[in-house]
Chains A and B, each alone.
Chain A
């Protein structure tokens, strides 16, 4: 599977305009009247058909970034500090709900961690999918229902005709997530944003859902942005990975090189703290401390206080830029001096 992914990633024509272009995007959230920086200078491109993983701990800003791509961050609690987000040439930032209607569903679909939040408990799931189809494309009720059932079959819901008449609470967590996926892809979007889509699911169900997304991506050629705290899920599913820390992108790389040889100490430390990469019953090598609270960032490298490789006077003075070339970037001033262990450390 993974060799196949690499081939596909390489096959992306570099000259073609990217599907998503996030350019120097910075966003504040208003907290009790004061703006707090949640995202700072995010650059990110996603090409058609590509699967990009966004990884970070809580408070890293990964979900806010995903919501921003959908224009879902409410304006009254946020302030754009700069930059832009373009999806297929359409500027998303600063747009009203009405302007975004053409993008949501048609160009971009989204699924969430908890399927119940995007399903209405009072309506049958088939009707909810049909509603999405009718809203975007019109057509008769009968046609929309037929298409809703076709979509349920597409997401491998067994006995789709009968399931279409179920209410969300009658379905298992895995089936609900399938229904959400069916809704998200009903209008065949070019991009699917999946925010922790398997975090609330059991591991065997997670494997089913990831397998389904993989297949849909192959069949429909849509790009996927997968947000996850689970490095292993990212490793298995994505072509490229971006690591967020305290609102900044600190590393981006193709998946295999990233897990083999991370270039940022934070990435390396995260990989090292996975229990599966360590001998059982031996204390893990750990990352001390906790991520900084929102808005409480150090003047230099934001990771400096927790970093094992920090050099006073170099790392903690001025903001650190991104180093490296297009495909592989890292926000560490010492990256070239360090030999950091990856997931295969034995």
Chain B
């Protein structure tokens, strides 16, 4: 493994037992994450994009060891941390921190902002008293808050301010890695752009390595160097952000990109919508072959039978799609919007 990989997930699998309700009726296991491998490179941002139920948030939690893997390994700086427990796990966590989606629920309502930010500082860096308070103030300023906010309670702050507090808390242990789980999804547009800027700024200032988990492709595109696309617990495509966004190789990526509404009049006039039919299949009953086979307009025989392996794509990255290797449509070329135009009969228009 190359030296610039800070954190890696190797062949991660997570099964949740499907026991629900009072009677503990077993509904079979649900595989939320299905053999996912990904690497976070130093100082870069990996965007992990997918829809609800794709397992993207679970991947973030597996990497942070907030939940235990069912199979596979988590490597932090080439060291296997998959089985770390208690004290050693807590030490690991000072190197990787998380910012959550909803700033209204991710901050303890009974604690003052200063204590929320100060807590990891005292535990990981042993700072107490004035030293701690000074550090809290420095962090507040670095995330664009006033020093006086330390005395406030979370519910006295706006959504944007709360998310800044959450970011300051995450920075307190001087982490190398920041996992942002839908960190701007609950915010208003003008606040969202402020927080995105803050994250970009902090990354260049502290050389942070980031995993940016989101359903919003335009946001992921904006902050990421690389993008991984998840569908039904699997990564279906991975590559440099520009390549994935401009020349998607997987039909799902292409459909996802096409479904994102466009504000620009020029892009609206040129783009034809691809509208996928139906919903993703239930993770408790995934298709046998390719996960996307039930909604893919290009599916052919092997897609129903075999799970496609990741193969390299022109322009960088990999894709897990039979079209890429043996399909009638592509024969190895990238899948642009053009391929969909020729297959419009597959869509609902």
Is there direct touching of A and B in the complex, by C-beta distance under 8 Å? yes
| CB of A291 within 8 Å of the partner chain | yes
Is B217 an interface residue, CB under 8 A from the partner? yes
Verify B263–A343 contact, CB threshold 8 A: yes
- Tell me, in angstroms, the Cα distance from A120 to B201 when the chains sit together: 47
State the Cβ distance, A243 to closest chain B Cβ, in Å.
Answer: 12
B188 touches A57 (CB 8 A): yes
A residues bordering B, Cβ < 8 Å? 1-3, 57-58, 158, 172-175, 202-208, 210-211, 229-233, 235-237, 256, 259-260, 269-271, 273-278, 280-288, 290-291, 342-344
Which residues of B lie under 8 Å from residue A282 when comparing CB positions?
Answer: 200
Q: Which of A172, A256, A283 contacts B201 (CB 8 A)?
A: A283
Contact call B160/A230, Cβ cutoff below 8 A:
no
Given the known interface contacts A2-B268, A281-B200, A286-B194, the answer about A276 and B189 at a Cβ–Cβ threshold of 8 Å is no
Contact partners of A274 in chain B: CB under 8 A: 189, 193, 218, 263
CA distance in complex: A172, B277 (Å)? 13
Beyond A203-B259, A211-B275, is A273–B190 a contact (Cβ under 8 Å)? yes
Query: A284–B268 contact, CB under 8 A?
Result: no
| Residue B152, interface by CB 8 Å | no
* Other-chain residue from A173, A206, A269 in contact with B190 (beta carbon distance below 8 A): A269
Does B279 sit at the interface, judged by CB under 8 A?
A: yes
List, sorted by A's number, 21 A–B pairs whose CB atoms are closer than 8 Å.
A57-B190, A58-B159, A174-B279, A202-B52, A203-B217, A204-B255, A205-B279, A206-B259, A230-B261, A231-B189, A231-B263, A232-B260, A232-B263, A259-B263, A269-B190, A274-B189, A281-B225, A285-B193, A286-B194, A288-B194, A343-B264
Among residues of B, the one whose C-beta sits closest to the C-beta of A274 is B263
Contact of B193 among A173, A236, A275 (CB under 8 A): A275
Q: A2-B268, A280-B221 are in contact. Are A204 and B193 (CB under 8 A)?
A: no
Known A-B contacts A211-B348, A235-B263; the reply to A276 vs B218 at CB < 8 A is yes
* Complex interface bits, B194-217 against A, C-beta within 8 A gives 1, otherwise 0: 101100110000000000000111
Asked if B255 and A236 make an inter-chain contact with CB atoms under 8 angstroms apart, the answer reads no
Distance in Å: Cβ of B300 to nearest Cβ of chain A: 21
A256's nearest neighbour on chain B, judged by CB, is B265
A-B contact count (CB 8 A): 146
CB distance from A239 to the nearest CB of B (A): 13
* B193–A287 touching, CB < 8 Å: yes
Task: Tell me the minimal C-beta distance from B313 to chain A in angstroms.
Answer: 19
On chain B, the residues within 8 Å of A172 by CB distance are 279
Please provide the 4 A-B residue pairs with the shortest distance between their CB atoms, ordered closest to farther: A275-B222, A232-B261, A273-B193, A202-B51
CA distance A203 to B258 in the complex (A): 10
Question: Is the pair B222, A236 in contact by a Cβ cutoff of 8 Å?
Answer: no
- The residue in chain A whose Cβ has the minimal distance to the Cβ of B216 is A203
Judge whether A275 and B221 touch: CB under 8 Å. Answer: yes
Instruction: Render B236-257 as a binary contact track against A, CB cut-off 8 A, 1 for contact.
Output: 0000011000000000000110
**A-chain residues with CB within 8 Å of residue B221 when the two chains form the complex:** 275-276, 280
Residues of B within 8 A of A275 (CB): 193, 196, 218-219, 221-223
Which A-chain residue is minimally distant from B268 (CB atoms)?
A: A2
Alpha-carbon gap, A274 to B189, bound state (A) = 7
Q: Tell me the complex Cα distance, A235–B261, Å.
A: 8
Q: A277 contacts which chain B residues (CB < 8 A)? A: 263-264
Which listed residue, B194, B225, B264, touches A276 by the CB 8 Å rule?
A: B264
Q: List B contacts of A208 (CB < 8 A).
A: 275-277
Q: How far is the CA of A230 from the CA of B218 in the complex (A)?
A: 12
B100 to chain A, nearest CB (A): 18
Scoring B197, B262, B266 by chain A CB atoms within 10 A of each residue's CB, the highest score goes to B262
Contacts of A342 in B (CB 8 A): 265
- Once the chains are docked, how many angstroms separate the CA of A1 from the CA of B268? 9
With both chains docked as a complex, state the minimum distance between the C-beta of A254 and any C-beta of chain B, in angstroms: 11
Q: Are B265 and A233 in contact (CB under 8 A)?
A: no
Cα A204 to Cα B242 in complex, Å, equals 21
Please indicate the chain A residues that have their CB under 8 angstroms from the CB of B196 in the complex: 275, 284
The distance in angstroms between the C-alpha atoms of A287 and B196, with both chains bound, is 12
**Is the pair B189, A229 in contact by a Cβ cutoff of 8 Å?**
yes
Contact A236 to B158, CB < 8 A, known contacts A58-B188, A269-B190, A277-B263: no
B197 touches A204 (CB 8 A): no
Q: Mark B140-170, 1 if CB is under 8 A from A, else 0.
A: 0000000000000000001110000000000
CB contacts (< 8 Å) of A57 on chain B: these are 188-191
Nearest chain-A residue to B188 (Cβ)? A57
A286 touches B197 (CB 8 A): yes
Q: Which residues of B contact A259 (CB under 8 A)?
A: 263-265
Closest to B203 in A: A281
Q: Does B129 contact A (CB under 8 A)?
A: no
Interface residues of B in 32-66 (CB under 8 A from A): 51-52
Of A271, A280, A285, most B-chain CB atoms within 10 Å: A280
- With both chains docked as a complex, state the minimum distance between the C-beta of A340 and any C-beta of chain B, in angstroms: 15
Contacts of A284 in B (CB 8 A): 193, 196-197, 222
Seed contacts A2-B269, A58-B159, A232-B261; 13 additional CB < 8 Å A-B pairs: A203-B51, A203-B216, A203-B217, A204-B276, A207-B258, A259-B263, A269-B190, A275-B193, A275-B196, A275-B222, A276-B263, A290-B191, A343-B265
Interfacial chain A residues near B14, Cβ < 8 Å: none
Across the interface, which residues of B come within 8 angstroms of A288, CB to CB?
194
Determine whether the beta carbon of A235 is less than 8 Å from that of B268. Answer: yes
Question: In the complex, what distance in Å separates the CA atom of A105 from the CA atom of B201?
Answer: 50
Q: Considering the complex, give the chain A residue whose CB is closest to the CB of B349.
A: A211
Complex-state Cα separation, A57 to B192, whole angstroms: 11
B101 to chain A, nearest CB (A): 13
* Min C-beta distance of A54 to chain B, whole Å: 15
Q: Contact between A281 and B222 (Cβ–Cβ < 8 Å)?
A: yes
Closest to A210 in B: B261
A261: min CB distance to chain B, Å: 10
